[in-house]
Structure 1
Amino acid sequence: MNADSDVKPDRRERALAALAEKPDGVVEAIAAKAEVTPAEILEILPRGAAVIVGKDHFLDIWSEMGTWGEVLFIVHTEDIVLEAEGSLPAGSEAHGWFNIHGDSPIGGHIRKDNCASVTFVDRAFHGRRSCSVWFMNDKGSAMFKVFVRRDENRELIAEQLNKFEALRDRYVPA
């Protein structure tokens, strides 16, 4: 989907120009500058930097990430970037919500049906490799993101990185 994007030509040109100015910047800031959605920025990243999969994989991906240990869970809105470190608890569906509770600071209720796609993102962020899984809504924004954590030397934790790559690679088109 990346190279053959559905982004309209004028929006695409603005997105490409903004991305070229700060290729390792915050996706939401790049999108705001170009007046496009974060999803449109993810779609134009170089091949392999964003692997977009269907929303029908939500539960499988969530479940697999529950085996990664402590991750960095981020909710990024125009008003707040909320970061929480913890393991992803198992969830259950009830009353239109995906409910997550357990022995983790990460908990609450996700409107799973609002998930339009899941994107595996592997790109530079302020000069360092960053790997994350973005659960995108139909408005083109991230509902939330799950990042591979870093160690005390600010390097990606190898075990989590391996699990991220293995999970992402299951969804890479042949």
Structure 2
Amino acid sequence: MNSTQLSALKARLLRNPGVVLENLAETNALSAAEVIECLPDTMWKKLDGSRCISVLQALPALGELTVIIHTGDGIFEFGGRFPEGETGHGFYNLHGKSGLHGHLRATRCQAIYLVERPFMGRDTASLLFTNLDGGIMFKVFAGRDAEGALNQAQLDALRALYGAQA
């Protein structure tokens, strides 16, 4: 992508940041990480993927979250507490008794983005874990209160992972 195309993409995301990032990446032959970094600077922060396990270990304390796994063939959502986990046999093993559980190759995490942007007419806050290819491994979204506003305590905790002030 040349600088003119990149500028056009940044302008598009400034006008409408609430697009499906994976779709925009595909149509522009970019990685999702490259598209995230085209969002306005105020909408994203980045952590190195070497922090993956420490971030994952912080998630269970946040309460009800939504985890989304988006592939070319489907979008899967899990709502609930993020499970505790531990490393073993080359994976970070999620110890969920029911609901979300499994095994994550955390060493393939290149970066973790905190993205705060409007989506479908509502403010959202999410962690986007990206792999070595710049693709999104999975997303973790902050919950909402009874009125539909973002859970402020979760938002503050997510921002604190990045050293950002609430």
TM-score normalised by the shorter chain: which range applies?
A: 0.7 to 0.9
Equivalent in the alignment of 1:47: 41
Pairing 1:72–2:75 present: no
Distance 1:133-1:104 versus aligned 2 partners, 3 A rule:
farther
Q: Matched residues in 2 for 1:134 and 1:124: separation? A: 15
Counterpart in 1 of 2:90?
96
Give the match for residue 16 of structure 2. Answer: 22
Q: Is the 8 A contact 1:18 1:34 kept in 2?
A: no
Q: Secondary structure at the match of 1:35?
A: coil
**Native 8 Å contact 1:22 1:30 kept in 2:** no
Residues 1-174 of structure 1: pairs in structure 2 closer than 5 A = 9=3, 12-13=6-7, 15-16=9-10, 18-20=12-14, 22-169=16-163
Q: What are structure 2's unaligned runs of at least 5 residues? A: none
Aligned residues: 165
Counterpart CA distance in 2 for 1:33 and 1:11 is: 12
- Which runs of 5 or more residues in structure 1 are unaligned? 1-6
4+ long deviations beyond 3 Å: none
TM (norm. structure 1) is 0.84
Q: Quote the Cα distance in structure 2 between the aligned partners of 1:110 and 1:32.
A: 24
Q: 1:121 to 1:53 in 2, by over 3 A?
A: same
- Residue 39 of structure 2 aligns to a residue whose secondary structure is coil
Output the CA distance in 2 between the equivalents of 1:21 and 1:123: 12
Distance 2:98 2:157 in 1: 20
Residue 15 and residue 32 in structure 1: after superposition, are their counterparts in 2 closer, same or farther (change >3 A)?
A: farther
Given that 1:68 and 1:87 are in contact with CA atoms closer than 8 Å, whether structure 2 keeps it comes out as: yes
Counterparts of 1:156 and 1:170, CA distance in 2: 17
Pair 11,106 (structure 1): closer, same or farther in 2 beyond 3 Å? farther
Worse-matched range after superposition: 89-98 or 128-137: 89-98
Change (3 A) 1:21 1:47: closer
Q: CA RMSD in A?
A: 2.2
Q: Give the drift of 1:133.
A: 0.5
- SS of residue matched to 1:89: coil
Question: Could you state the TM-score of these two structures normalised by the residue count of structure 2?
Answer: 0.87
Question: Could you give the per-residue CA deviations for residues 14-35 of structure 1, whole angstroms, max 9, x where no partner exists?
Answer: 5335535632121112222323
In 1: Cα distance, 2:98 partner to 2:7 partner: 42
